Structure 1
Amino acid sequence: MSQTIEETLFDLLSQVRKGDSLSPNDVAKAIDATNWRRELPKVRGVIIGLARQGRLEVLRKGKPIEPEGFKGVYRVRLPQSETQSA
């Protein structure tokens, strides 16, 4: 399942403008439009793992944060160095 989440996440990120971010809700809805809320904990886990690897940035109020122990509303984007060189 995490592979599906990862693929969906990067597919959706490839469709946003460079530097723009994506809501984890969008990823969950793409996986299961009916029961998307059930998918959110799994999506969050994959996002945290990818952020630890440096493959994603987690954002709060538009600013990158550490992927450890954050709470509340967040978004994700590709790392800025990656989007600037692409």
Structure 2
Amino acid sequence: MSDSSTGERAARPSEEAAEAAILAVAGRPDAGRSVAPEEVARSLATGPDWQSLLPLVRRAAIRLAESGRLVIYRKGKPVDPADLRGVYRLGLPPQD
């Protein structure tokens, strides 16, 4: 039973996996205009500890927004990813 600690701790998702999860969750037909970062963290989690993935989701969201592949909303309005503070939501850029 010496490997019980490895069985309890699942591998953390990569930065690329977080980016892919954000785009997948935001792109679902039922997603609406925006999604909460908690939804993305839950989709990435392999166990009950999805809250620990929120910083990873935040970093990935900022990278995607900086590259123009995502819009970060605060109080329903797009925000500059460099000024991201507090509660936020994620959405795909509008299709023209």
Which category describes the TM-score, using the shorter chain as reference length?
0.7 to 0.9
2:26 equivalent to 1:13? yes
Structure 1 residue 71, shift from structure 2 partner: 1.2
1:29-63 deviations in Å (ceiling 9; x for gaps): 11115111100001100000010001101100100
Does the 8 Å CA contact 1:6/1:46 hold for their aligned counterparts?
A: yes
Equivalent position amino acid for 1:3 in 2 = E
**Which residue of structure 2 lines up, in the alignment, with residue 78 of structure 1?**
92
Gaps of 5+ in 2: 1-13
**Which residue of structure 2 lines up, in the alignment, with residue 53 of structure 1?**
67
Q: 1:68 aligns with which of 82, 88, 95?
A: 82
Structure 1 residue 15, shift from structure 2 partner: 1.0
Superposed CA RMSD in Å reads 1.6
Q: Percent identity?
A: 35
> Equivalents in 2 of 1:58, 1:22: separation in Å?
10
List structure 1 runs of 4+ shifted beyond 3 angstroms. 16-19
**Which of the two has higher C-alpha Rg?**
2
What is the aligned length?
82
Structure 2 residue matching 1:68: 3-state secondary structure:
helix
Q: 1:4 aligns with which of 17, 27, 41?
A: 17
Does the 8 Å CA contact 1:59/1:74 hold for their aligned counterparts?
A: yes
Deviates more, 1:51-60 or 1:17-26: 17-26
